[in-house]
A and B are shown apart, each in its own frame.
Chain A
Amino acid sequence: MPDPIISIQGVSKYFGDFMAVEDITIDIEPGEIFALLGPSGCGKSTLLRMIAGFEDPSEGRVLIGGEDMTGVPANKRPVNMVFQSYAVFPHMTVSQNVAYGLKMDGLPKAEIKEKVAEALEQVHLSQFAARLPDQLSGGQRQRVALARALAKRPRVLLLDEPLSALDAKLRDAMRLELVKLQESVGVSFVMVTHDQSEALAMADRVAVLKDGKLMQLADPMTLYQKPANRFVADFIGRVNFFDVTQSTKGSAEIIAGPLGALTLPAPVTGTGEHVLALRPEYIRLSPAKEGGLTGTLGDVGFQGDSSIVEVTLEGGKQVQALAGPEDTTMLLSLGTGAAVALSIDLSQARLLPA
């Protein structure tokens, strides 16, 4: 395994009494896209700003390329940042913006010119070099911010909510483009986002944060299929939770609320309260027959290729199921209020600490 390019070691950050980031340890590998994901206020921007040098950790330290960055100011760190507002300098042209960081490095004019041209090429902005930022669209301004940061050849590019200021259509296009750009320049990206689909689609690895604490660090597939706890299961994708009323360590037999007695594929490993998490795609609906688990059909949320179907179980518990195109047709013909049978793929159910 290569040495990590960024090593966050036991970092905490207090603002007064308030703990914004709590004892976080993360290693970021060279050449990967790493996402910091979490709800608003969970401390992801604060963590990113500690890497950039705009905040000092209250505890712990940050290493970049193996060097301790404690006490190194932002303007001396080998990383560059793309800000949420892009922070493109309004009184400078596009090429002056991109040249600014190189000028600060004291590079000779000819070299600056060359590197600016190259950076603008990378983000397809060459023909806009002479424009002022207010003559650009939001997406173009973002590219200026990208080119400006990349022109300095940072070891790591930091991006704070890079897509949040763009409209939905552009956002999807930029996701792909950012990934392509990362592949072509080869530097690690560390991006902050509160949008789980963005993190899953773009990142090689994702750190999920909540209230300043690291909840899980894994690749997107693992996060989705094997969430470590209830928070991650809930935050990433759709999920149904069933309260587990009875479980014993070492036994695979549990009782999970309205689902009744179940036999899990593997024995329970922990004690204490648990919930059973089940993604909607592992619940299959069919017209009601005798016996088994049944419920009342609610809304069918048609999404084109599939639908999210609401079902109310006996006892009032609401669950969501994912139906394919054929099942959707069948369910729509049954109509709201019809009785349906649920079949559950227990092998995909996850028992999580509550």
Chain B
Amino acid sequence: MAKRKKPAPFDYARKWPLRLTFLLTTLFLYAPIVVLVIFSFNNSRRGGNVIWRGFTTDYYVKAWNNAGLVEAFVNSLAIAVISTVFAVFLGAITAVTLWRFRFPFKPAYEGLVALPIVIPEICLGVAIAVLFSTLGLYVPPGAPWPFNLTNIIIAHITFSFPFAAMVIRTRLNTFNREMEEAAKDLGASEYRVFRDILLPHMKPGLIAGALLAFTLSLDDFVITFFTSGPDTVTFPVKVYSMVRFSVTPEINAASTVLILITLVVTAIAMRFQTFEDPR
């Protein structure tokens, strides 16, 4: 009988439909980003212009000098950082509670926590906006930065903490309960078990959750749109309003910087992230 040959690791690449799929997905994923970056250096007055007119960094300078754009950019970063901190904190508490304790209606509560992930963003945006206006929860105009962003930050925490909670919860599922008992057996208090054993185990989940919350916040448009005012413009909202007039390479330039920042943040986070196997 003829032996069946096992496929070598990269054998799939020899099958042309798979190759084609691979090629096309990569192309559609990265081509727009590559084009965006390339044309941020295009010496043309219109960003939508697909004709290469020579290399320039003028538009980076221009973007830098566009006070409105820079302000929106800084706002976005501030919102992302602050809401990430809260989202991860709340997410971690929620995840540990769900993982650790049994209480009545727990499945219902678990569902409720996950709900903002599936609810259409537009509904959540409207709901949050209505909530703020009904309760009269508005930061008075002229509040000092970054407190003027409070409404947006609260909205961002609302939609990003369930994601953080899910990621952290998943990580907790790989925790070996005997580890906790071993620490107790050696004399550790509840608090020491949490600090010395559980928290280090959660770390990759915390980092992944933070990354998720950060990027979700940074590029959110829909919910932000409903909760931002004229003084509190974020980068996506600003870009949207600029694009309505004309697409200039300035936007490409600012977007490139944003991509760079996310890449750097992700790289740093990955460095901190060590996935030990639970034993």
The answer to whether A and B assemble together is yes
A148 contacts partner chain B, Cβ-Cβ < 8 Å: yes
A75 contacts partner chain B, Cβ-Cβ < 8 Å: yes
Mask: chain B, 245-279; 1 = CB below 8 Å from A; 0 = not: 00000000000000000000000000000001111
B45 contacts partner chain A, Cβ-Cβ < 8 Å: no
Q: Is there an interface contact between A85 and B176, defined as CB atoms closer than 8 Å?
A: yes
Cα–Cα distance between A354 and B196 once the two chains are bound (Å): 54
In the complex, identify which listed stretch (A31-39, A99-107, A203-211) lies at the interface while the others stay far away: A99-107
Give the residue of B178, B183, B277 whose beta carbon is less than 8 angstroms from that of A100: B183
**Across-interface contacts of B200 in A (CB, < 8 A):** 91
Q: Is there an interface contact between A89 and B197, defined as CB atoms closer than 8 Å?
A: yes
Decide: A87 near B192, CB < 8 A? Known: A80-B186, A105-B187, A152-B187: no
Residue among B187, B189, B276 with max Cβ neighbours from chain A (10 Å): B187
Give the residue of B181, B188, B189 whose beta carbon is less than 8 angstroms from that of A87: B181
A73 to B, closest residue via Cβ: B184
Q: Is there an interface contact between A83 and B279, defined as CB atoms closer than 8 Å?
A: no
Mask: chain B, 10-54; 1 = CB below 8 Å from A; 0 = not: 000000000000000000000000000000000000000000000
Q: Is there an interface contact between A100 and B276, defined as CB atoms closer than 8 Å?
A: no
A256 contacts partner chain B, Cβ-Cβ < 8 Å: no
Q: Is there an interface contact between B185 and A80, defined as CB atoms closer than 8 Å?
A: yes
Cα–Cα distance between A86 and B279 once the two chains are bound (Å): 8
Decide: A85 near B178, CB < 8 A? Known: A90-B279, A100-B196, A134-B276: yes
A74 contacts partner chain B, Cβ-Cβ < 8 Å: yes
Q: Is there an interface contact between A152 and B186, defined as CB atoms closer than 8 Å?
A: yes
**Across-interface contacts of A274 in B (CB, < 8 A):** none
| Least Cβ–Cβ distance between B196 and chain A, in angstroms | 7
A341 contacts partner chain B, Cβ-Cβ < 8 Å: no
Decide: A74 near B279, CB < 8 A? Known: A87-B178, A87-B179, A91-B200: no
**Across-interface contacts of B188 in A (CB, < 8 A):** 75, 100, 104
A43 contacts partner chain B, Cβ-Cβ < 8 Å: no
**Across-interface contacts of A152 in B (CB, < 8 A):** 186-187
Q: Is there an interface contact between A83 and B181, defined as CB atoms closer than 8 Å?
A: yes
A14 contacts partner chain B, Cβ-Cβ < 8 Å: no
Residue among A85, A89, A141, A145 with max Cβ neighbours from chain B (10 Å): A89
| Least Cβ–Cβ distance between B124 and chain A, in angstroms | 37
Mask: chain B, 171-199; 1 = CB below 8 Å from A; 0 = not: 00000101101111111110010001100
Give the residue of B185, B192, B279 whose beta carbon is less than 8 angstroms from that of A85: B279
Residue among B179, B185, B189, B279 with max Cβ neighbours from chain A (10 Å): B185
Decide: A74 near B185, CB < 8 A? Known: A85-B279, A104-B192, A134-B276: yes
| Least Cβ–Cβ distance between B128 and chain A, in angstroms | 39
B203 to A, closest residue via Cβ: A91
Q: Is there an interface contact between B189 and A74, defined as CB atoms closer than 8 Å?
A: no
Cα–Cα distance between A121 and B185 once the two chains are bound (Å): 22
Mask: chain A, 137-149; 1 = CB below 8 Å from B; 0 = not: 0000100010011
| Least Cβ–Cβ distance between B103 and chain A, in angstroms | 18
Give the residue of B183, B185, B277 whose beta carbon is less than 8 angstroms from that of A90: B277
Q: Is there an interface contact between B189 and A75, defined as CB atoms closer than 8 Å?
A: yes
Q: Is there an interface contact between A89 and B179, defined as CB atoms closer than 8 Å?
A: yes
Q: Is there an interface contact between B276 and A141, defined as CB atoms closer than 8 Å?
A: no
A133 contacts partner chain B, Cβ-Cβ < 8 Å: yes
**Across-interface contacts of B183 in A (CB, < 8 A):** 89, 100
**Across-interface contacts of A83 in B (CB, < 8 A):** 178, 181-182
Cα–Cα distance between A133 and B278 once the two chains are bound (Å): 10
A88 contacts partner chain B, Cβ-Cβ < 8 Å: yes
Give the residue of B181, B187, B279 whose beta carbon is less than 8 angstroms from that of A101: B187
| Least Cβ–Cβ distance between A162 and chain B, in angstroms | 13
Decide: A52 near B185, CB < 8 A? Known: A85-B176, A87-B179: yes
Q: Is there an interface contact between B187 and A75, defined as CB atoms closer than 8 Å?
A: yes
| Least Cβ–Cβ distance between B177 and chain A, in angstroms | 9
Q: Is there an interface contact between A87 and B182, defined as CB atoms closer than 8 Å?
A: yes
**Across-interface contacts of B176 in A (CB, < 8 A):** 85, 87
Cα–Cα distance between A105 and B188 once the two chains are bound (Å): 9
| Least Cβ–Cβ distance between A72 and chain B, in angstroms | 12
B residues bordering A, Cβ < 8 Å?
176, 178-179, 181-189, 192, 196-197, 200-201, 276-279
| Chain A to chain B contacts (Cβ below 8 Å), 29 pairs | A73-B184, A75-B187, A75-B188, A76-B187, A81-B182, A83-B178, A84-B178, A85-B178, A85-B279, A87-B176, A87-B178, A87-B179, A87-B181, A87-B182, A89-B183, A89-B197, A90-B201, A90-B279, A91-B200, A91-B201, A100-B183, A100-B186, A100-B188, A104-B186, A104-B187, A104-B192, A134-B277, A141-B279, A149-B186
**Interface contacts beyond A83-B178, A91-B276, A134-B277: sample of 11 additional A-B pairs, CB < 8 Å, sorted by A:** A52-B181, A52-B185, A75-B184, A86-B279, A87-B181, A87-B182, A88-B279, A91-B201, A101-B186, A104-B187, A152-B187
